[in-house]
Structure 1
Amino acid sequence: MFAAAALGPPLRTAGARADAARTVAVYAEALRQLTLDYDEARNQIQQNADVTTLASRRNRKVEPSP
């Protein structure tokens, strides 16, 4: 019961629920954008540092030795 009280009072009106839904949507979009930005930055850093990932190494064609 204590944990539920820490979450705040229940949303009793449709307006309060709609406001909460909009807030959640804003936070979800912000998290999505941060994730995309992080992935892009990480990929750029890895490319600049010549980091080879396991996936790219597996996909490389191995040339037969003479």
Structure 2
Amino acid sequence: MNFDTNNHSVFLLHYHLIMCIQYRNKVIDNTISNRLQEIFEYICPKYNILLEEWNHDVDHVHVL
């Protein structure tokens, strides 16, 4: 567990992000989900983010 700090505080934040497809169209399959996960994993170290969990359905993605 990594705590972030600034001048006056120490903190640990958890975000549960849900990304939905417009009009809830059913377009996310395993290939698209895997590519999205690769992109997130590439971006995460630049912002000191730990990707804990990744789940998808045909019309949305859950990121923790």
TM-score (norm. length: structure 1)? 0.30
- 1 or 2 for the larger relative contact order (CA 8 Å, sep ≥6)? 2
TM-score (norm 2): 0.31
Higher helix share: 1
